[in-house]
Structure 1
Amino acid sequence: MSVDQLSVSLTKEQAYALVDAVAERDELALTASAHENEETGEWVFEAACDSPPDLEAFNALAQEVLGGTVQFSVEPIDPEVNWVAKSLEGLAPVIAGGFYVYGSHETGPIPEGLTPMRIDAAQAFGTGHHETTTGCLEAIEAVLETKSPSAMIDVGTGTGVLAIALAKRTGKKVLATDIDPIAVTTTDDNARDNEVAGLIDTLVATGLDHHAIAARAPYDLVVANILAGPLVELAPGMGVITQAGGTAILSGILNTQADGVIEAYEKAGFTLRDHLKRKDWTTLVLEKR
């Protein structure tokens, strides 16, 4: 696959606003990120795109989000380079919900009192920087203050960051599933790097359609950071696999989509307990009636 990198220097606020806008348009980019240039102090928006990128669409999006035109530069990415890692390797550590998420390039000391998780950029979603991931980590922290789950599943695990958070904080087994075999391999690697490989069982599965998921049900904690559409489709099945009194933490939801997801899960037997908003993104905490 031929991949190009599209970039432009912006203010910090503009760069993150454009990243959020691109995240809502899956067809535009394979990945998008914002980071500070250590040499110049400028903030840079970068996106990895199938070659050639749709510059007309990017320009229209910039006009809509930033209120003006910008001059994007485009350069090819070496096919031997992991373009996801390249676009994310400079990201700073993230603190969310008592967790400290960092990459192996980070050499600073780990702050006291936080649960560390080393998650390097990879070809799977979830380095801890997106508002959906930080929202889930904050929700996990809040839920674990009052509950002690023993049967947990992370649906659409990506890099495994949420499963690793649960395993580290509870010391109990977590089932981590994803439709993408690369994500499952990445989760295995990250679980090993974070010394919780023995606590995380991984599985390639489409949604909830696998006998191994049913065999370990019911679950008292379900986490799923995917997208609003799939979450709505999974709502009836989530109701089946979650035990009474169990908790579901859901994200990957735009604020404008939250009401539709809440309605679907109320029909599936859940009650809304918390609604976290981070910029344009929502994380829901629901309890099975």
Structure 2
Amino acid sequence: MPVDQLTAPLSKQEAYALVDAVMERDDLALTASAHEDEETGDWYFEATCDHPPDLESFSQLARQVLGGTIDFSVEPIDPKVNWVARSLEGLAPVVAGGFYVYGSHETGPVPHGLTPMRIDAAQAFGTGHHETTTGCLEAIDMVLKRRRPKFLLDVGTGTGVLAIALAKRLRTPVIATDIDPVAVKTTRENAWANGVGKLIFPVEATGLDHRTITDNAPYDLLVANILAGPLVALAPGMGRIAAPGGTVILSGILRHQAVRVINAYGRQGMTLRHRLDRKDWSTLVLEKH
């Protein structure tokens, strides 16, 4: 199968905004990412497509999101290479919320007093390096300092990093769902690699209607690190399965999208308790009335 990579030089904020817009659609690209050239400091938008990219659709979306014309370049790439993993190999460990997230290439000792999680690059989102993930880890740490929830759900689990963080800290079962079967498989493997395989229950699910999710509701802690659009769409369902007094941690939200998400969850009886802004991204901590 031919695989093409579409690239455009943008500002950091523009690149992340376009990534967010592309990933809210399922017809444009396999993956989209924003990255900085270490040598020049320039930022780029990249999208990987398993078919010839629809340049007109990309250009139209860029005009809608960024308000201008973008010059995209297209280059064929080797479809046998796992480009998600390739782009993440060799990343340095991350410390956030008292957690130490590292890859198996790291051979140094785990710093004292931190909760270690080994998360290797994979075909799923969540190695701990992105501001959305570090924001969630910090929010989890904040919540667990004042309460110990027992009924836990991680929506859009990706590599399982947040579910693993919860299971390691609480030694409590966590249901971890994702629409992507690769993410479900990755989460299961990472859970066992981190010694919490018996505590994490990965489920392939679209939305919140899967029987495993509904049968174990209500939840007193829910986390969801996805995108603003899907989070807004999930708000009514999250309101139904969150226990009174329960906490909901949301991320994957650009700063300018935060008010929209807060309002959507406010209509479901949830109040914003904390907002953590990290660079261009916001993590929200809400409480169900």
TM-score range, shorter chain: 0.7 to 0.9
Cα distance in 1, alignment partners of residues 132 and 288 from structure 2: 22
Question: Which consecutive unaligned segments of at least 5 residues does structure 1 have?
Answer: none
Q: Which amino acid in 1 is paired with 2:48?
A: C
Which 4+ stretches in 1 moved above 6 angstroms?
54-58
Question: How far 1:257 moved relative to its partner?
Answer: 1.3
The C-alpha deviation readout for 1:217-243, integer Å capped at 9, x for no partner, is 111100011111221121121111111
Residues 35 and 90 in structure 1, CA contact (< 8 A), matched pair in contact too: no
Q: Quick check: 1:136 aligned with 2:136?
A: yes
Contact 1:46 1:87 in 2 (8 A): no
1:136-155 deviations in Å (ceiling 9; x for gaps): 11100000000101100001
Instruction: Kindly report which structure 2 residues correspond to 1:47-58, keeping only aligned pairs within 5 A, or say none.
Output: 47=46, 49-50=48-49
Structure 1, 88-97 or 186-195: larger mean CA deviation:
88-97
**TM-score normalised to the size of structure 1?**
0.84
Q: 1:20: which partner in 2? A: 16
Q: Is the 8 A contact 1:48 1:84 kept in 2?
A: no
- Superposed CA offset, 1:43-71 (max 9, x none): 6858352265678969x97xx99xxx99x
CA contact (8 A) 1:100 1:116 kept: yes
SS at structure 2 position matched to 1:146: coil
Aligned-partner Cα distance in 2 for 1:101–1:151:
24
Measured at CA, do residues 46 and 115 of structure 1 come closer, stay the same or move farther in structure 2, by a change above 3 Å? farther
Q: Is the 8 A contact 1:35 1:91 kept in 2?
A: no
Q: TM-score, normalized by length of structure 2?
A: 0.84
Q: What percent identity do the matched residue pairs reach?
A: 62
How far apart, CA to CA, are the structure 1 residues paired with 2:5 and 2:143?
40
- Kindly report the root-mean-square deviation, in angstroms, between the aligned alpha carbons of the 2 structures: 3.0
- Residue 55 and residue 114 in structure 1: after superposition, are their counterparts in 2 closer, same or farther (change >3 A)? farther
Query: How do 1:182-221 residues align onto structure 2 when only pairs under 5 Å count?
Result: 182-221=182-221
In structure 2, the gaps of 5 or more residues are 23-27
Secondary structure of the corresponding residue to residue 283 of structure 1: strand
2-structure distance, mates of 1:133, 1:145 = 19
CA positional deviation for 1:107:
2.6
Residues 13 and 280 of structure 2 are in contact (CA less than 8 Å); yes or no, is this contact kept in structure 1?
no
Aligned residue in 1 for 2:31 = 30
* Structure-2 change in CA distance of 1:83 and 1:117 (3 Å): same
Equivalent residue for 1:241? Answer: 241
**8 Å Cα contact 1:15-1:43 kept in structure 2:** no
Q: Is the 8 A contact 2:98 2:113 kept in 1?
A: yes
Who is 2:157 aligned against? 157
